[in-house]
């Protein structure tokens, strides 16, 4: 969907459909909605009187104008209670409005900036929220189909601003909203592709092409490069697959690394997870969904894209270790011991605990970025995080309270919630090994598997502030929700972008 910003009176727009708004409890609309109501001889007021236009958050009512004004349709979307109105409400209303516009077949839609006038919100933030939510709502996952799609789609969306003094601010917000939504779409697309398409090679190539397009530095390490670095733990997972592993390094503001704060993002990139010899249970019906085990890597790649396009004043590094976890004659076995790039050793108890293995060497590599202010990893790491938190939040593990607060605030701001989990010292005792420094699983004891996995990762971190986000319960949605498809969610992209953009604040 193309995004435009236009200096115009919304009443004069010739779009297929225009969107205005209404707070709950308002009987006489004002502002842009009032101007449209007046041009329509009070039709909106009449609908309010009849109770057909309530102003409840996300409620919509459609009016056909019969050529009273240039547009054939007016959609009024509810903003909810004025007292609780915020950017989250803007996103909810915008998503509901564009969905309703799409359902009636409108191709060109124009909207005012919800909250930018009498709503009292910052105009840049409000414009961003409208565009971001509208694009996210219309996302559809890619399909490998022999036939053309048949669904009607909104092709262009115009934010209309009447006040010339606010026009530049609306443009700025709209651009940010577009970049953030499109970056989220990139991650969703990568996750949604089948594993025979989204291989480590394909994802690395996508990252390299994207980096060239937006001005990022990108290096892709091959197997021989990883062997030379001593990444024996990561490569132990890759041994079981004929697909060559890749290690993607993307940098924003690389040339200014000495003068800017450095933030390192690390994403788990297991492009398909069979579980290896610790084979996953096949009768659950979701084995095919293991293609989403590279969501962390996709999120990191997408976040770096946004960092470049939004010109975030930080040195941001993205690390994405990519491999399949498969079975062949060379595959790792329970009981094997491997050495990572810092010399630390690890015993394999479960070959299905492979995500923490590839992150072990990635987190060790992150130690090369001296004086990093934060290293954050994202991973679809444990099924048990879903038992603890469900699909409502991702688990957050860190011993750095300042970093924890920053991440929670960012998640709350964009609607991607995090919940802090314990990092007790006793969890480290559970992963001590007879034959190596640590073991990668506590099986057959399944208790505290979420926390011991985080302690395993912490063992391989270097001297930097670190946080681990376990996104296994939120990376794939079973049901469609506002701005979230049924399928790949790319949870974490918008959170991390907000975190980076507000770092200095």
Active site residue 356: yes
Look at residue 375 and tell me if it is in a domain.
yes
> Domain check: are 201 and 158 in the same one?
no
Catalytic residue among 280, 344, 368, 373: 280
131: containing domain: 2-144+152-170
- Confidence band, pLDDT 50/70/90 cuts, at residue 283: low
pLDDT for res 284: 67
pLDDT for res 218: 98
Q: What are phi and psi of 111, to 5 degrees?
A: -145, 150
Alpha-carbon torsion 355, 358, 364, 366, what sign?
A: negative
Q: For tokens 């790792």, name the residue.
A: 332
Rounded to whole angstroms, the Cα distance separating 391 from 267 reads 20
> Domain check: are 156 and 210 in the same one?
no
Number of separate domains in the chain:
2
- Confidence band, pLDDT 50/70/90 cuts, at residue 117: confident
**Could you tell me how many helices (H) and strands (E) the chain has, helices first?**
15, 20
Q: Average pLDDT, stretch 133-157? A: 84
Tens-digit pLDDT profile for residues 133-143? 999 999 998 87
Q: Is 90 exceeded by the pLDDT of residue 346?
A: yes
Look at residue 188 and tell me if it is in a domain.
no
Beta strand spans in 128-239 (E): 156-161, 217-221
> Domain check: are 160 and 220 in the same one?
no
pLDDT for res 344: 97
Q: Average pLDDT, stretch 103-130? A: 94
- Percent of the chain at pLDDT > 70 equals 98
151 to each of 56, 107, 140, 413, 488, how far by Cα in Å?
Answer: 28, 12, 11, 32, 20
> Domain check: are 123 and 223 in the same one?
no
Catalytic residue among 91, 268, 356, 501: 356
Tens-digit pLDDT profile for residues 349-386? 999 999 999 999 999 999 999 999 999 999 999 989 99
Rounded to whole angstroms, the Cα distance separating 99 from 249 reads 37
> Domain check: are 283 and 223 in the same one?
yes
> Domain check: are 350 and 229 in the same one?
yes
Residue 49, H or E segment: helix 43-50
- Percent of the chain at pLDDT > 90 equals 92
Look at residue 180 and tell me if it is in a domain.
no
Q: Average pLDDT, stretch 100-110? A: 96
Tens-digit pLDDT profile for residues 10-64? 999 999 999 999 999 999 999 999 999 999 999 999 999 999 999 999 999 999 9
Look at residue 481 and tell me if it is in a domain.
yes
Look at residue 183 and tell me if it is in a domain.
no
What integer best gives the mean pLDDT of the chain?
A: 95
Tens-digit pLDDT profile for residues 391-437? 999 999 999 999 999 999 999 999 999 999 999 999 999 999 999 99
CATH number at residue 133: 3.40.220.10
pLDDT for res 289: 87
Q: Are 362 and 377 in contact (CB under 8 A)?
A: yes
Rounded to whole angstroms, the Cα distance separating 199 from 64 reads 49
Residue 459, H or E segment: helix 449-459
Q: Is 70 exceeded by the pLDDT of residue 186?
A: yes
Q: State the DSSP string of 171-183.
A: HHHHHHHHHHHHH
**Which tokens in the block code for residue 278?**
């610790």
């Amino acid at each position: 969907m193309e995004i435009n910003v236009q200096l115009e009176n919304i009443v004069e727009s010739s779009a297929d459909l225009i969107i205005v708004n209404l707070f709950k409890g308002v009987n006489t609309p004002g502002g842009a909605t009032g101007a449209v109501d007046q041009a329509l001889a009070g039709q909106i007021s009449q609908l309010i009187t009849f109770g057909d236009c309530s102003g409840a958050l996300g409620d919509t009512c459609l009016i056909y104008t019969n050529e009273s004004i240039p547009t054939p349709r007016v959609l009024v979307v509810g903003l909810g209670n004025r007292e609780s109105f915020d950017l989250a409400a803007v996103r909810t209303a915008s998503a509901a409005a564009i969905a309703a516009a799409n359902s009636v077949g409108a191709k060109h839609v124009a909207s005012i900036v919800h909250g930018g006038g009498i709503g009292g919100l910052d105009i840049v933030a409000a414009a961003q929220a409208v565009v971001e939510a509208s694009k996210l709502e219309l996302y559809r996952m890619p399909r490998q189909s022999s036939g053309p799609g048949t669904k009607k789609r909104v092709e262009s969306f115009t934010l209309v601003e009447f006040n010339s003094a606010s026009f530049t601010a609306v443009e700025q917000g709209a651009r940010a909203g577009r970049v953030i939504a499109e970056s989220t779409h990139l991650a969703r697309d990568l996750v949604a592709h089948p594993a025979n398409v989204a291989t480590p090679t394909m994802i690395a190539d996508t990252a390299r092409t994207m980096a060239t397009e937006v001005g990022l530095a990108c290096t892709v390490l091959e197997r021989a490069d990883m062997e030379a670095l001593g990444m024996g733990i990561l490569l132990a997972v890759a041994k079981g697959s004929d697909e060559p592993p890749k290690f993607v390094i993307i940098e924003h503001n690389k040339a200014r690394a000495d003068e800017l704060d450095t933030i390192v993002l690390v994403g788990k990139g297991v492009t398909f997870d069979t579980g290896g010899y610790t084979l996953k249970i096949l009768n659950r019906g979701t084995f095919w969904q293991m293609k989403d085990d590279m969501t962390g890597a996709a999120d990191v790649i997408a976040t770096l894209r946004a960092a470049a396009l939004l010109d975030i004043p930080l040195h941001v590094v993205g690390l994405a270790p990519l491999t399949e976890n498969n079975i062949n004659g060379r595959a790792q076995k329970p009981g094997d011991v491997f050495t990572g790039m810092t010399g630390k050793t690890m015993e394999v108890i479960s070959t299905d605990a492979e995500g923490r293995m590839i992150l072990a060497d990635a987190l060790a590599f992150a130690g090369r970025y001296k004086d990093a202010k934060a290293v954050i990893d994202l991973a679809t790491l444990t099924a048990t995080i879903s038992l603890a938190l469900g699909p409502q939040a991702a688990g957050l593990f860190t011993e750095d309270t300042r970093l924890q607060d920053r991440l929670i605030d960012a998640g709350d701001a964009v609607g991607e919630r995090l919940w802090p989990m314990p990092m007790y010292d006793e969890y480290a005792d559970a992963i001590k090994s007879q034959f190596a420094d640590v073991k990668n699983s506590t099986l057959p004891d399944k208790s505290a598997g979420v926390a011991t996995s985080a302690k395993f990762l912490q063992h391989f971190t270097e001297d930097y502030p670190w946080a681990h986000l376990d996104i296994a319960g939120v990376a794939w949605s079973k049901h469609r929700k506002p701005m979230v498809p049924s399928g790949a969610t790319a949870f974490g992209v918008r959170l991390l972008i907000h975190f980076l953009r507000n770092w200095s604040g």
